[in-house]
Amino acid sequence: MTEVKKYPEEPLKTWNKAKELRLKYFTSYAKAHETGGLRFCGSAGSLNSIQQAFGRDVFILGSEPYSAHAAFFSDFARKCQEACESRGIAHDLCGYMKNYWGGILINQFILPTHEIVPWPKADVMWTQHICCTHAKWYQYAGELEGGVPEFGIDFNCRIGHTMTDRDIDYVLEQVLEGIEWVEKVTGRKFDDELFIEASLNELAANSAWGQAYEYNQNIPAPIDEKSLYSFFPFNILCPQWAETSALFRELRDELKDRVDRGIAAVGNERFRILTDGPPQWAMLQVYRYMEKVYGAVTLGSTYTAYWGTGWDVAEDGSLIAAKIPTREEFAQLNREARLRKYIAWKLSKQEAYSVTFTGCHPRKSALMLKIMELWKLDGAIIHLNRGCEGSAMGVLENRLDIIKAGYPVLTYEGNMGDVRDFDYAGTIRKIENFFENLGLEKLIKGG
């Protein structure tokens, strides 16, 4: 048995608040009609503040995080997947989309408490297109739900820090048209004051997430990736809620305090890992296995670092939590200029859309390598994700680029939405081979 330095550990205090917020989020969507509210649904992070500007009682479902949450309950997800397949839907389509469509087909929606309620039919589909699946996802979902009006916004692949004015205009024009469209289909007016309030919350949340995330550059890391998974979806689910920015600020302060006091997420930390896109949600215990048996802690990913987070990218590629506009800066503008500023911030600060979901592998590799350098990581684990063509595109090239830079990389196969595509025992064997070949002995005999 190998002796390793044992750092002190403490449970995260903000953890329970995240749990409460998650329950509130899903429950308020499911119950929106009870109070006369409206349900908007679409790809997560589809410019939420614009949707919120149609009323405080608009509840927005980000369908990928919902489907990820459903995947966590593997028996439930299996039922959704099988419902799709028995309807003739191909096995290899997006794993999240099938959890979503499957929920409609079996008329079941799962809450974080494991309570199953009838499927809450959306009133409006408002979505972005970041991969070729999205348009079909909501078109077909709308059909299955008996006809739901849909509006899709196409994001172009240059978003991120290389975005140009033309790219912003391209999205802005669609948004302006979309606002008119929503006014027509809902009979509600776009409320500029509400938009200002929501968007300032949203940008503050996205920026605070970046500030919190930066603390994981510390050795030992104050938070692990499994815990980051529980917090980061709020960046795209309900960033426009004041509770989200408050939660992220509290998390940031807690992480700072943990860093100051040398508190580790994993006391055994001795090998620091980066991962990439969505994991195998129903099998997060593989992370626990790596921690317990090898002291190998996964503490960041392109997913949690980039999706929804506001980063400024410095000349040398370093990432700094983005600055946010003040209320005055927003309030003094007219609607169009304000929307433009909001869109520009959202799209230019969020590399994930462009690099994680469009297979732009040189940029994604560069970003992965930058995190590896800044976050002082020792290796990477890449998910060959059969469930998401968006995030799986180019990952083998990323692997080669990371190996070329001198880091070891392990790949494993799975499907974020569907545990049937995952081989737990085989993955554990690979993990053992990987770490032992690197010379890391087991900390626990037998493993």
List of residues contacting ligand SF4 (CB under 6 A): 64, 94, 96-97, 131, 133-134, 137, 357, 388-391
Other C-beta atoms lying within 10 Å of the C-beta of residue 24: 14
- Shortest distance (Å) from residue 134 CB to ligand SF4: 5
Task: Tell me if 379 sits within 8 A of 348, measured CB to CB.
Answer: no
Beta carbon of residue 198, minimum distance to ligand SF4 (angstroms, whole number): 24
Cβ closest to other proteins, residue 89 vs residue 396? 396
Instruction: Specify whether the CB–CB gap between 300 and 325 falls below 8 A.
Output: no
The CA distance from 326 to 28, in Å, is 29
- Residue with the shortest CB distance to ligand SF4: 390
Nearest distance from C-beta of residue 357 to other proteins, angstroms:
23
Note if the bond before 220 is cis, omega within 30 degrees: yes
Q: Which is nearer to other proteins, 219 or 438 (CB)?
A: 438
Cα torsion angle, 238, 243, 244, 245, sign: positive
CB nearer to ligand SF4: give 95 or 178. 95
Residue 366 in the binding site for other proteins (CB under 8 A): no
Between 63 and 216, CB nearer to ligand SF4: 63
Q: How far apart are CA 393 and CA 368, in angstroms?
A: 15
* 55 in contact with other proteins (CB under 8 A): no
Task: For residue 81, give the amino acid letter.
Answer: Q
Query: Whole-number minimum distance, CB 436 to other proteins, in Å?
Result: 5
432 scored as a contact of other proteins (CB under 8 A): yes
User: Of 12-20, 124-132, 156-164, 403-411, which part binds other proteins (CB under 8 A)?
Assistant: 403-411
- List the structure tokens of 119: 């499927």
Distances (CA, A) of 274 to 110, 217, 264, 382, 431: 30, 12, 17, 8, 14
C-alpha span between 149 and 157 (Å, rounded): 26
Compute φ and ψ for 58, nearest 5 degrees: -90, 125
Assess 166 for contact with other proteins (CB under 8 A): no
Tell me the closest approach of the beta carbon of residue 408 to other proteins, in angstroms.
8
**DSSP secondary-structure letter at 75?**
H
Q: Indicate the residue among 137 and 155 with the shorter CB distance to ligand SF4.
A: 137
Does 408 help bind other proteins (rule: CB under 8 A)?
yes
Task: Give the separation between CA 384 and CA 415, rounded to whole angstroms.
Answer: 8
Applying CB under 8 A, among 82, 250, 253, 413 the residue interacting with other proteins is 413
Mapped onto helix, strand or coil, the DSSP state of residue 394 is coil
Give which of ligand SF4, other proteins, none residue 396 binds (C-beta under 5 to 8 Å, depending on kind): other proteins
Residue 182 CB coordination number (10 Å)? 23
Distances from the Cα of 426 to the Cαs of 329, 392, 412, 422, in angstroms? 54, 20, 9, 9
Closer to other proteins by CB, 214 or 421: give it.
421
**CB nearer ligand SF4, residue 133 or residue 206:** 133
Beta strand 38-42 pairing with 58-62: parallel
Q: Which is nearer to other proteins, 24 or 430 (CB)?
A: 430
d(CA 150, CA 163): 27
Say which entry of ligand SF4, other proteins, none residue 373 contacts (CB below 5 to 8 A, set by partner kind): none
CA angle, residues 67, 71, 76, in degrees to nearest 5: 105
CA distance 411 to 254: 33
Among 173, 437, 441, 444, contact with other proteins (rule: CB under 8 A): 437
- Identity of the residue, 22 or 386, whose beta carbon is nearer to other proteins in the bound complex: 386
374 near other proteins (CB under 8 A): no
Q: Of these partners, ligand SF4, other proteins, none, which one is at the site of residue 446 (CB under 5 to 8 Å by kind)?
A: other proteins
Residues of this chain that bind other proteins (CB under 8 A): 384, 396, 403, 408-409, 411-413, 421, 423, 426, 429-430, 432-434, 436-437, 445-446
